[in-house]
Amino acid sequence: MIEVESLSRRYGNRWAVRDVSFRVATGEIVGFLGPNGAGKTTTLRMLTGYLAPSSGAIRIDGIEALQHPIHARQRLGYMPEGVPLYREMRVYEYLRHRAALKGVAEVSDAVDRSLERAGVTDARRRIIGQLSKGYRQRVGLAEALIADPPILILDEPTSGLDPNQVRQFRELVRSFRHDKTVLLSTHILSEVEAVCDRVIIIHAGLKVADPSTERER
Amino acid sequence: MMSAWVIMRRELASFFVSPLAYVVLTSWLMWNGVVFWVLTEFYARNAVASGAATPLSAFFGGSSLFFIPLLVFVPVLTMRLLAAEKQSGTIETLMTAPVSEASVVLGKYGASIVMWCVLWAPTLIYAWIMSQHGSVDWGATVASYFGILSLGAYFMAVGLLMSALAPNQIIAAVLSFVALGVLFTFGIGEFVFDGAMRELCAYLSMWSHMQSFSKGVVDTRYLVFDASVTILAVGLSIGALKARRHA
């Protein structure tokens, strides 16, 4: 479960995110929708602890993420926008490294499982820098899954993929339903319709719509 | 601290699969091979003028030929440490993993110390060559390597800090070059100023530092200085990484 309370982030004197609050319940797949520059990436970066908020509170499965960042990050799998990877490493080397960094006990099993789940088993011995964009995206997902975290945060996971890869990727995300809590950002409405249970819409750093909370009212 | 070890291993693996590692090591050995040869020739031809100095003591910091390559090679070795992660964006996956800033910095720093040792290990062969053709003061040689390790601890820490501050590798390299160049030039102040300023310059001097160790004199003042700069620079690097989250 992700709980965000009046989260704000300022760059200099420009507000990137302003007073945004929302909840993502356990097992839900939620789309974080908004045009480019709306503050999606900034919000996700605050959730994952990459950026510190200017104000507000974040709870990850009840853990105060700002007070206990390492503890909170242990519960997250994160795929940043553009999927940064160590290009000189082989796929399995990279996953082994990340598993060790995240303190996974059975590294080899975890690598096999996440390769399988992300559908990159056939590329396990290839050098990351030589992979196609679609494969690199999946390696990024395998990395997010490596420690089997209860929460996945995916920033624009389908950007730059061809339509076939997009379809495969959406199926993959749908397969996490009920098993993991997923928050994915996108600027494509049809993507939300295709994979998400619910949508949170953000524009110019402000939350403009969150149908679930409106229903509650 | 387990994660520092994991980070250090990856850093070393990625360094030693890069062409950079072999370009650096090869040119380093070529440079030092020429330096060692010239020094040996000099002492062979000027046995009287050389006094107590030996080719080895001259090689380990007895001449500026020791420092000039270091001003270039240290920045090249350290520029990648954190700046490469920023450049490629992998800093985001690194800093969102459940690891502390301190483990990241210590892992990177540990890797740089290993690189420093790899740089110097082949020079042991010069000591061996000398021992085949004359007598080698092994005590002074051990002290020289100890001095190099201590000096390297602080050089690498300065390079690490610049890599933590700079947005990319080129800027990291330039900043390290300038920082080490200024520290090197301070040492020359020992021959320029007098009084307290002279004392200060002598204390900061990496030249006097290595001259003392290469003669076999382990001067604790230099060790204290090296350790202080190292701790300061590593601490500031951790601070710089923490500050990034607020940038």
Q: Tens digit of pLDDT for each residue in A39-70?
A: 999 999 999 999 999 999 999 999 999 999 99
For position B48, what pLDDT does the model report?
A: 64
The verdict on A71 and A101 lying in the same domain is no
As separate numbers, helices (DSSP H) first and strands (DSSP E) second, chain B gives 13, 0
In a domain, A128, yes or no: yes
Q: Pick the residue with more confidence: A177 or A86?
A: A86
Mutate which: A11, A43, A50, A92, vs B, most B CBs within 10 A: A50
pLDDT digit string, tens, across residues A107-149: 999 999 999 988 899 999 999 999 998 899 999 999 999 999 9
Q: Which two tokens stand for residue A200?
A: 């949170």
Range of the domain at A59: 1-75+151-217
Which domain-ending residue is among A113, A129, A149?
A149
Sign of CA dihedral A88, A90, A95, A97: negative
From chain A, pick out residues whose CB is under 8 angstroms from the CB of B2: 103
User: Does residue A80 lie in a domain region?
Assistant: no
Decide if B98 and A84 are in contact by the 8 Å CB cutoff. Answer: no
Domain total of chain A: 2
**CA–CA distances in Å: residue A189 to residues A32, A163, A186, B67:** 10, 15, 8, 61
Note whether A31 and A97 are same-domain residues: no
Do residues A94 and A182 share a domain? Answer: no
Is A35 part of any domain?
yes
Q: Are strands A2-11 and A14-24 parallel, antiparallel or unpaired?
A: antiparallel
Collect all residues of chain A within an 8 Å Cβ-Cβ radius of residue B7: 101
Using CA atoms, how far apart are residues B44 and B54, in angstroms rounded to an integer?
A: 10
Q: Which chain B positions have a beta carbon within 8 Å of A48's beta carbon?
A: 96
Q: What DSSP character marks residue A90?
A: B
Out of A51, A76, A89, closest to residue B245 by CB: A51
Calpha distance A10→A18 (Å, rounded): 8
Q: Are A135 and A115 in contact (CB under 8 A)?
A: no
Domain finish residue from A149, A183, A199 = A149
Residues A25 and A2 in one domain: yes
**Considering only CA atoms, which of A188, A113, A129 is closest in space to residue A158?**
A188
Give one DSSP letter per residue of B83-144, joined into a string: HHHHHHSTHHHHHTSS--HHHHHHHHHHHHHHHHHHHHGGGHHHHHHHHHHS---HHHHHHH
Task: Identify whether residues A61 and A158 lie together within a single domain.
Answer: yes
Backbone angles phi, psi at A184, to 5 degrees: -125, 140
Is B93 close to A84, i.e. CB distance below 8 A? yes
- Domain extent listing, chain B: 2-244
Asked if A213 and A186 sit in the same domain, the reply is yes
Mark whether A14 and A112 lie in a shared domain: no
Residues A25 and A94 in one domain: no
Please list the ranges in chain B whose pLDDT falls under 70: 48-52
Task: Give the whole-angstrom CA distance, residue B86 versus residue B147.
Answer: 33
Same domain, A102 and A190: no
Residue B77 three-state SS = helix
Query: What are the residues whose beta carbons fall under 8 Å from the beta carbon of A213, sequence distance 6 or more?
Result: A22, A23
According to the model, what pLDDT value does residue A213 have? 54
Show the tokens assigned to A83: 């999927």
Single-letter residue type at A75: R
Alpha carbon distance A9, A41 (integer Å): 11
Q: How far apart are CA B218 and CA B215, in angstroms?
A: 9
In the DSSP assignment, the letter for residue A187 is: S
**pLDDT at residue A199 in the model:** 92
Q: Does B88 touch chain A (CB under 8 A)?
A: yes
A94 and A201 part of one domain: no
Question: Contact A182/A30 with Cβ under 8 angstroms?
Answer: yes
Candidates A156, A158, A194; CA nearest to A177 is: A194
ipTM of model: 0.92
Question: Mean pLDDT throughout A12-35?
Answer: 92
Using the predicted structure, report yes or no on whether residue A217 has a pLDDT greater than 50: no
Instruction: Please name the member of B13, B88, B97 whose beta carbon is closest to the beta carbon of A101.
Output: B97
Q: What confidence category does residue A214 fall into, taking pLDDT thresholds of 50, 70 and 90? A: low
Residue A10's DSSP bridge partners are: A15
Contact A203, A35 (CB under 8 A): yes
Tokens of residue B68, six digits: 């000039």
Same domain, A46 and A65: yes
Pairing type for strands A76-79 and A151-155 reads parallel
Identify the DSSP state of B46.
-
The torsion of the CA quartet A141, A143, A148, A152, rounded to 10 degrees, works out to -50
Amino acid type, A20: V
Structure tokens at A132: 């196609």
For B241, nearest residue in chain A (alpha carbons): A50
For residue B130, what pLDDT is reported?
86
- The C-alpha atoms of residue B33 and residue B242 are separated, in whole angstroms, by 42
Confidence at residue B153, expressed as pLDDT on a 0 to 100 scale: 95
Summarised one tens digit per residue, pLDDT across range A176-210 is 888 899 999 998 888 888 889 999 999 888 888 77
B92 in contact with chain A, both atoms CB, cutoff 8 A: yes
A81 within some domain: no
Cα of A84 to nearest chain B Cα, Å: 5
Between A and B, how many residue pairs show a Cβ–Cβ distance under 8 A?
66
The phi, psi pair for A182, rounded to 5°, reads: -125, 130
SS3 content of chain B, % helix, strand, coil (to 5): 85, 0, 15
User: Cα angle vertex A86, ends A150, B173, to 5°?
Assistant: 130
pLDDT the model gives residue A19 = 92
Find, in chain B, the residue whose alpha carbon is nearest to that of A95: B10
On whether the CB atoms of residues A151 and A157 are closer than 8 A, the answer is no
Nearest to A101 among B3, B91, B245 (CB): B3
- Whether chain A has a CB inside 8 Å of the CB on B95: the answer is yes
Nearest to B103, CA basis, from B230, B9, B219: B9
Helix (H, G, I), strand (E, B) or coil at A77: strand
Whether residues A126 and A170 fall in one domain: no
Label the pairing between strands A29-33 and A198-203: parallel
Boundary of a domain, candidates A149, A175, A195:
A149
CATH number at residue A173: 3.40.50.300
